[in-house]
A and B are shown apart, each in its own frame.
Chain A
Amino acid sequence: NAGVTQTPKFRVLKTGQSMTLLCAQDMNHEYMYWYRQDPGMGLRLIHYSVGEGTTAKGEVPDGYNVSRLKKQNFLLGLESAAPSQTSVYFCASSYAASPGDEQFFGPGTRLTVL
């Protein structure tokens, strides 16, 4: 049982390049989330999904796209990376819609955009 995994762990991009971050969970969770963490800002929600085939915008969605083609995977895409997207990205998942459900987090991806 690997929990929530993220690929890659580190990445350096040049401005304008594109990339996809992969999040996978093996807990059969319905809900999945993408956050970014910046110093002094806490965690901010980028996009989330409440089930396979669904996605929704969070607090800071601009410049990102997501897809949830399979229940266990949640992809975060950057079409044209900008230095402002330098951050640590976390994926999380939770079982269902109960507000008390714990979110399980991945180990994070550190992205640097030059």
Chain B
Amino acid sequence: AQTVTQSQPEMSVQEAETVTLSCTYDTSESDYYLFWYKQPPSRQMILVIRQEAYKQQNATENRFSVNFQKAAKSFSLKISDSQLGDAAMYFCAYRSRGDKIIFGKGTRLHILP
């Protein structure tokens, strides 16, 4: 069965600094997608970034980028120039063929002014 592990329950970073959130997963599939979702204090989850396993190039979305290591089954999220609005719970997620997406338990990110 596929699993997603986020080993950092909480992290803090100084405003304007860079922070990396870790995620590892376990699967026997070769074709899948990985996601990072953000859940701000308002609770509504939004997609931050996604990565297709077949693409070797790491996905980027403005200040957000990923380090995708397929062989190591690692998918970390890097946030550059951290802003106060980045404070949230971040969930790593995995989805292969089929209907269900599997979420990690989340990492709460605090931004220190």
Contacts and interface: CB of A to CB of B under 8 A. Distances in A.
Interface of A: 31, 40-45, 48, 50, 56, 58, 88, 90, 92, 97, 99-100, 102-103, 105-108
Given A100-B33, A100-B95, 8 more contacts: A42-B105, A44-B103, A99-B96, A99-B97, A102-B47, A105-B45, A107-B42, A107-B44
5 contacts: A42-B91, A43-B103, A48-B100, A58-B100, A97-B99
Given A42-B91, A42-B106, A100-B52, A108 B100 contact: no
A105 B50 contact: no
B96 A40 contact: no
A9 to B, nearest CB: 10
What interface size band does chain B fall in?
Answer: 20 to 34
Interface of B: 9, 31-33, 35, 42-47, 50, 52, 91, 95-101, 103-106
Contacts, number: 49
B99 A31 contact: yes
Contacts of B47: 102-103
- Which of A42, A44, A97, A106 has the most CB atoms of chain B within a 10 A radius of its CB? A42
Contacts of B105: 40-42
A43 B100 contact: no
A105 B46 contact: yes
A92 B45 CA distance: 9
A50 B32 CA distance: 19
A45 B93 CA distance: 12
